[in-house]
């Protein structure tokens, strides 16, 4: 194996409560989905120690170890990657563009969270 596969209790092969899966996505069960293709995995890479992991793309694989191998072969060819995460696409929960108003608007009710509310001291740059 080329990496550590971290398991989340209750995640493999089970639907997440309270989160809807992406359209057409399934949770990995025996590595195959209804249309006969392998499970789709999202790949996140880190190029420097302390830098955030960034979405690099997707791969299809039968399980997490296979996904790490496929992701390594596809996304770390240039040698800059020091860490890699793979996540089944069906395990990702996200807001939708239709949620933009009611989901993010409560922040506008608190003006003190906006930077124009604060005065920067003299000599401070980049604020």
* CA triple 62-68-74, angle to 5 deg: 105
Residues in CB range of 20: below 8 A, 6 or more apart:
93
**pLDDT score recorded for residue 35:** 74
Q: Which CATH architecture has domain 1-95?
A: Roll (3.10)
Tell me the pLDDT tens digit for each residue of 61-111.
999 999 999 999 999 987 789 999 999 999 999 888 887 777 776 666 666
Cβ of 6: how many Cβ atoms within 10 Å? 7
Tell me the pLDDT tens digit for each residue of 16-30.
333 344 444 444 445
Top-ranked range on mean pLDDT: pick from 33-42, 56-65, 87-96: 56-65
**pLDDT score recorded for residue 24:** 46
Q: Where are the domains of the chain?
A: 1-95
Q: b vs e for 82-120, b when ≥16 Cβ sit within 10 Å of the residue's Cβ? A: eebbbbbbbbeeeeeeeeeeeeeeeeeeeeeeeeeeeee
**pLDDT score recorded for residue 8:** 45
């Amino acid at each position: 194996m080329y990496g550590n596969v971290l398991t989340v209790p209750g995640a493999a092969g089970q639907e997440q409560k309270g989160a809807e899966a992406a359209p057409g996505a399934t949770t990995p069960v025996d590595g195959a989905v209804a249309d006969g293709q392998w499970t789709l995995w999202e790949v996140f890479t880190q190029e420097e120690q302390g830098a955030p992991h960034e979405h690099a793309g997707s791969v299809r694989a039968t399980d997490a170890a296979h996904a790490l191998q496929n992701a390594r072969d596809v996304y770390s060819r240039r040698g800059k990657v020091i860490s890699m995460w793979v996540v089944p696409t069906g395990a990702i929960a996200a807001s939708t563009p239709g949620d933009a108003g009611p989901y993010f608007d409560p922040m506008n009710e608190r003006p003190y969270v906006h930077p124009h509310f604060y005065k920067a001291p003299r000599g401070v740059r980049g604020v």
